[in-house]
Structure 1
Amino acid sequence: MSVAKYKRIVLKISGEALAGEQGFGISPEIIKTVAKQVKEVAELGVEIAIVVGGGNIWRGKVGSEMGMDRATADYMGMLATVMNSLALQDSLEKLEVPCRVSTSIEMRQVAEPYIRRKAIRHLEKKRVVIFAAGTGNPYFSTDTTAALRAAEIEADVILMAKNNVDGVYSADPLTNKDAIKYTELTYLDVISQGLEVMDSTASTLCMDNDIPLVVFSIMETGNIKRAVLGEPIGTVVRRNL
């Protein structure tokens, strides 16, 4: 039986990844595929926390372009992450994977409020915990949420599953054929070079708390398990190489 490299992980999934080729909304096939991959990892005995973005439903940038107040637009984005989280919870439970959605904004009718010690207890009981509604504050991304929750629950690693790239590149590989893919980086490299891995707040939080980050493509089936097993896929970002 394969042995996992990490005991407790935070899996960060972008909202756009759940949209699939349609580019918006939730693709039933994609979310089922993600749930199956999460189940594979759970069967290794790994404790799994998940942070899902909301860009497939709402982006704060769109609100800003409409002239909307930034805080209001961000709160709408947080609600979008709750919708994605509930959809993923449903898919996991259909596969008989015990799961809890924990929200930073109280909405007790649909999910339990985030309490750090309770979330850790769920993980210890091998329940998947999905952290929804961001940090509960505007001006913070779901990348920052992943970094914050990883620090709070003392996760071994953040696995950042991307839908359009398979790692970190020197430039956008979709528009620049000369873009170079990195296998290893430091957080200082990411910040100083302005690489679009995660925002600077999240990068600094990970660096200060010495939380490694693995960036890989979620579109290839089995990649989440490969990342958990420590196989060399994507790009690894650390405080020090």
Structure 2
Amino acid sequence: MNKYNRVVLKLSGEALAGEQGYGIDPKVIQSIAAQVKELVDLDVEVAIVVGAGNIWRGMAGSAQGMDRATADYMGMLATVMNGLALQDGFENIGVETRVQTSIEMRQVAEPYIRRKAIRHLEKKRVVIFAAGTGNPYFSTDTTSALRAAEIEAEVILMAKNNVDGVYNADPRVDPNAKKYETITYMDVLKDGLQVMDSTASSLCMDNNIPLIVFSIMEDGNIKRAVLGEEIGTVVKGK
């Protein structure tokens, strides 16, 4: 029995790079596609938001003197590349997929239209939301929160490639870091924990959208999260 029937899966760009650390690793795409197919086979409606850290980071470009808005637009275009790679991986194993972009580029993807996205989900198509919100200064974390609210998703699944939940310190640096099983968005904001940026956290908190943070490196974790198994960390509104 599924605990959640409509989800937003947030994938970091770094997750797509695999061990090489940059670009797109076909093996990672295949693994993610297989895991998403498991959800589709359970009749779960899946929307995906993907980052672009494997190709370009707007903040890094800005730090090197590039205009921030220009750097962010470049990052949005990079998310479209990742979205198309995911779409190809999904459709290679028979998962019908649509890419919708916040910046119009009709030759490669549909423009984002909320009602159309919901209709695709109802038809059990995976919908990939690319190009962020279409605005500079907003992250793909914020895109996840915004799209989840718009399509009335029941949860955001934040799949990480280098950590298996939320800790009070960086577990890669501090061996005594404590992992939370559950935590509130207010505590995340108050303690400055690096889960989502503050805009995304506030948006999730205001709209009471739970977030599950877990590792994508273990096959089957996405399905476990949807079935309600206790993995990673659950971030709640209250």
**Superposition deviation, residue 169 in structure 1:** 0.3
- 2: CA distance between counterparts of 1:185 and 1:212? 10
Unaligned stretches of 5+ residues in structure 1: none
Secondary structure at 2:156 match in 1: strand
TM-score (norm 2): 0.99
Aligned equivalent of 1:239: 237
The equivalent of 1:197 in structure 2 is 195
Match runs of 1:105-144 below 5 Å: 105-144=103-142
Report what 1:219 is aligned to.
217
Letter of the aligned partner of 1:62 in structure 2?
A
Distance 1:156 1:66 in 2: 39
Match of 1:229 among 227, 230, 236: 227
Q: Deviations over 1:78-109 (max 9, x none)?
A: 00100000000000000100000000000000
Segments of structure 2 that go 5 or more residues without pairing to the other structure are none
Amino acid of the residue matched to residue 156 of structure 2?
I
Alignment correspondent of 2:175: 177
| Cα distance in 2 for residues equivalent to 1:95 and 1:228 | 21
Counterpart CA distance in 2 for 1:236 and 1:148 is 19
Q: Deviations over 1:161-189 (max 9, x none)?
A: 00000000000000111110000000001
- The aligned amino acid for 2:74 is M
Residue in structure 2 matched with residue 160 of structure 1 by the alignment: 158
> Which letter maps to 1:174?
R
Who is 1:37 aligned against?
Answer: 35
Indicate the SS of the match to 2:230.
coil
Between the aligned partners of 1:121 and 1:65, the Cα distance in structure 2 is: 40
In structure 1, what residue type is equivalent to 2:226?
V
Offset, 1:62: 2.2
C-alpha separation in 1, matches of 2:199 and 2:60:
22
TM, length-normalised to structure 1: 0.98
Alignment partners' CA distance in 1, 2:170 and 2:84: 32
In structure 2, distance between residues paired with 1:81 and 1:53: 6
Provide the C-alpha distance between the structure 1 equivalents of 2:14 and 2:130, rounded to a whole number of angstroms: 16
Paired residues in the alignment total 238
Taking the aligned partners of 1:228 and 1:174, their CA distance within structure 2 comes to 27
Q: What amino acid is the match of 1:122?
A: H
Q: CA deviation at 1:64?
A: 1.5
| Map 1:141-152 → 2, pairs under 5 A | 141-152=139-150
Aligned equivalents of 1:109, 1:102: Cα separation in 2 = 12
Q: Cα RMSD between the aligned structures?
A: 0.5
Corresponding residue SS for 1:178: coil
Partner of 1:18: 16
**Which residue type is aligned with residue 182 of structure 1?**
Y
